[in-house]
Amino acid sequence: MAQCLIKPDIDFARSLSEAGGESLKKCYQCATCAVACPMAPANAPYPRKEMVWASWGLKDKLTSDVDIWLCHNCGNCSDLCPRGANPADVMSAARNTVYKTLTEPTCVGELMSKPQGLPILFGIPALLWLIVWWLRAGFNGGTWFPTRADGSIVFGDIFYGDYTIDPIFMLTFFGALFIIARGAMKLWKMFSPEGKLTVVGEKKCWVWHLWDVLVEEVIFATHFDDCQKGPKTGKPEAGRRVGHTILVWAFCALAFVTAVVALGHWGGKVIPAIEITTPLKPLNLIKIIANVGALMLVVGLAMLTIRRFMENKKTHTSNYYDWYLLGVIWAVALTGIFSQIFRLAEAVGPAFLVYYLHLVFVWMLFAYLPWSKLGHLVYRTVALLHVRMYGRKY
């Protein structure tokens, strides 16, 4: 008779609990959750099997499971679980444990996993931008808060784009991109089955599958509707899809503005006709798009934050990863808006201080992205691409 040796990893089970899966021991394997999940296909149900793997401490099984990334965290399974084992929280905790160790340097993942790491994570960019400020103040004859002759404030007089902001953010952005790409490749290998699988779905080039995933899942988040079409649980629905979609479009608008300004600034050195000088006037079209993007960011964030506060705490808890991401994006949005308000009001001290904090939080958002919940943008896309190539839709 074939034997299967199971090696439970007690430390892993403990780290799952710390990452938000405290309730998993209550599960008695009734499988209600797998039936209740509106996303799980009939031939590949979840999250019941993940509950077994989690409670047995089967680290390899759980962390290489593609289904943990396909879960939309709608909470239907937790609402209907008769034991209060909160499988949605366990799925979320499983993703959090992967963020922690998926990609190097894992010490950042360790710091990102608990509030005690926050002072160091904040301190690194705070020190970096303080050094930049100090160096530039030295060039300005010791003036830390410069104003122009007409009293106007130009942030570039301290945080000069060409030699500080642009190179630092370019390095940070491409560094994070490289690290997350390594994580995505590692994840793809972990998902890949041993031996051969028969593809039962639509066969097409991976590029077209990726296109479908980006349009349906990232841009329009259509599958949140499938969550809402799941079993009626009687819980209030606070527009989760709308909040997510507004947030994604806000990021798209702000990324577009950044790209246009960078093109105008650097391209303008070669083709003077396309030169853009900052700060832009309030009625400049690019400035208007930037302000609309910032407003959308606040609206989307407010919807998602209210939803988290409204959740039934017995069946759905928000963990540290959830609050970290919301907190950093709130900080980016508010410091961006208030630095502009203080600049226009010519309040020189608050304007520079808030702009400095804005740079710190934007750096945190990008530099720590591979270990934060925002990484799911890439990791979930990889998981969806993987299952679609093997004939599943999600």
- Which of the 8 DSSP states describes residue 177? H
Among 8, 11, 14, 31, binds ligand SF4 (CB under 6 A): 31
Q: How far is the CB of 227 from ligand SF4 (least distance, A)?
A: 6
- Which of the 8 DSSP states describes residue 282? T
Of 85 and 383, the one with the shorter C-beta distance to ligand SF4 is 85
Q: How far is the CB of 394 from ligand SF4 (least distance, A)?
A: 9
DSSP 200-254: -S----HHHHHHHHIIIIIIS-THHHHHHTSS--------HHHHHHHHHHHHHHH
Of 85 and 153, the one with the shorter C-beta distance to ligand SF4 is 85
30 touches ligand SF4 (CB under 6 A)? yes
Q: How far is the CB of 337 from ligand SF4 (least distance, A)?
A: 33
CA nearest neighbour of 301 among 342, 253, 249? 249
User: How crowded is residue 333: how many other Cβ atoms within 10 Å of its Cβ?
Assistant: 23
Q: How far is the CB of 1 from ligand SF4 (least distance, A)?
A: 27
Among 72, 136, 358, 392, binds ligand SF4 (CB under 6 A): 72
Using CB under 6 A as the binding rule, the residues of this chain from 193 to 222 that contact ligand SF4 are none
Calpha distance 57→68 (Å, rounded): 15
Applying CB under 6 A, the span of 72-80, 137-145, 164-172, 255-263 interacting with ligand SF4 comes to 72-80
Q: How far is the CB of 343 from ligand SF4 (least distance, A)?
A: 43
CA nearest neighbour of 93 among 194, 199, 22? 22
Q: Is 3 in a helix, a strand, or coil?
A: coil
17 touches ligand SF4 (CB under 6 A)? no
Q: How far is the CB of 49 from ligand SF4 (least distance, A)?
A: 9
**Count of residues that interact with ligand SF4, criterion CB under 6 A:** 29
29 touches ligand SF4 (CB under 6 A)? yes
Angle at 42 between CA 40 and CA 46, to 5 degrees: 40
Of 8 and 84, the one with the shorter C-beta distance to ligand SF4 is 84
380 touches ligand SF4 (CB under 6 A)? no
Which CA distances in Å does 170 have to 161, 221, 253? Answer: 11, 29, 19
Applying CB under 6 A, the span of 43-51, 134-142, 159-167, 197-205 interacting with ligand SF4 comes to 43-51
Q: How far is the CB of 241 from ligand SF4 (least distance, A)?
A: 13
Residue with tokens 């609050």: 323
Of 83 and 182, the one with the shorter C-beta distance to ligand SF4 is 83
Q: How far is the CB of 267 from ligand SF4 (least distance, A)?
A: 45
Calpha distance 146→355 (Å, rounded): 13
Of 227 and 246, the one with the shorter C-beta distance to ligand SF4 is 227
The 3-state secondary structure of 80-135, one letter per residue: HCCCCCCHHHHHHHHHHHHHHHCCCCHHHHHHHCCHHHHHHHHHHHHHHHHHHHHH
Q: How far is CA 301 from the centre of its chain?
A: 13
Which CA distances in Å does 351 have to 81, 160, 281, 320? Answer: 51, 15, 17, 30
Binding mask 76-105 for ligand SF4 (x = CB under 6 A): xx---x-x-x-xx--x--------------
Calpha distance 394→382 (Å, rounded): 12
Among 13, 19, 37, 253, binds ligand SF4 (CB under 6 A): 37
Amino acid identity of residue 80, one-letter, is: L
28 touches ligand SF4 (CB under 6 A)? yes
Binding mask 44-63 for ligand SF4 (x = CB under 6 A): --xxx--x------------
Contact positions toward ligand SF4, by CB under 6 A? 27-33, 36-37, 39-40, 46-48, 51, 71-77, 81, 83, 85, 87-88, 91, 227
